[in-house]
Amino acid sequence: MTVQTERPPSGPADVHKDSSGSRGPTPRAASRIGALAPYLLLLPACAASVLLLGWPLLKDALLSFQNLNMAQLIQHVTEWNGIDNYTEVLGSEDFWRVTLRSILFTAVNVVLTMVLGALVGLLLARLGRRMRFTLLIGLVLAWAMPVVAATTVYQWLFAQRFGVVNWVLDKLGWHSMADYSWTSHQMSTFFVVTLLIVWMSIPFVAINLYAATTTIPAELYEAASLDGAGAWKSFATVTFPFLRPFLYATTFLEVIWIFKAFVQVYTFNQGGPDRLTEILPVYAYIEGVGNQHYGMGAAIALLTILILLGLTAYYLRIVLKQEKEEEAGL
């Protein structure tokens, strides 16, 4: 009599049979797949970023080590000059002046955008359905308008001879503004550009914060009112803690977007008058394309990216430090 022993199932060790007899991954394999799933989902976006951003960034880095102007382009000659472009840029007073101007410009715009956008977002949360819908339409239209089109509209509004703003100021009794040139002075040009950028940035902040307010449980406000908390106390203890992560993320995005606001500044007045309103992206474009010093422009562009990375890293460090202190306090 022959005794037959049970043979182990063939196949990988991570496969087992469930109660119905069908094969499936073991719990260990399933946990491994679950751990890899977020990275697999991020892989297409990372690949697209490397392809669309990484390669141009690499080309810009290589170009920054070359002496490239119109003569080299015509002759198809590659002339490497090492770090001469960086040495010349970092040793220039104009670069540091433009850098300081860019940081101050970004700070002013971000503060105005976040304050006004937060107020509009809180207003949306308190309005009725019809008024909220009307305001949301206006915000979306302002946010969706193309940047060049919005800049052109502001050029018409603040035109010297036939601008609506000068006409209104003249009718209100400010007759010296009837023929005022907003693009002939540094501060007036920055005023209009700041007004344009803030106007276009408020909708994103307002809608983002309004969406955040809809996630706050109503029971928390009821508990705060039972404890005798007023409107300000409820905002400080209930609303603001929920909105803090959204404020951090939105501020981070606004710093990036406003720091590289090339289109508004260049389209409005090409960095004038006398290059007094240039920020780093405009400065890189004028030096590189305008003056045909392409290697110099590439070096300025790469330094702009490094400065922006430094600013965002400093901001994230402050945010993480505050969060740790809040967790320690709890």
- Segment 247-304, tens digit of pLDDT: 888 998 899 899 989 999 999 988 888 889 999 999 999 988 888 889 999 999 999 9
Alpha carbon of residue 43 to chain centroid: 22
Average pLDDT, the chain: 84
Question: 80 forms bridges with which residues in the sheet?
Answer: 66
* Res. 2 pLDDT band, cuts 50 70 90: very low
Instruction: Name the residue among 178, 192, 200 with its Cα closest to residue 268.
Output: 192
Q: What tens digit of pLDDT does each residue of 99-135 get?
A: 999 999 999 999 999 999 999 999 998 888 899 999 9
Whether 168 shows a pLDDT value over 60: the answer reads: yes
Alpha carbon of residue 159 to chain centroid: 29
Q: What tens digit of pLDDT does each residue of 77-88 get?
A: 888 888 989 999
Instruction: Using CA atoms of 237, 219, 216, 132 in order, give the dihedral in degrees to the nearest 10.
Output: -110
**10-24, 93-107, 249-263, 299-313: range with lowest mean pLDDT:** 10-24
Higher pLDDT, 323 or 144: 144
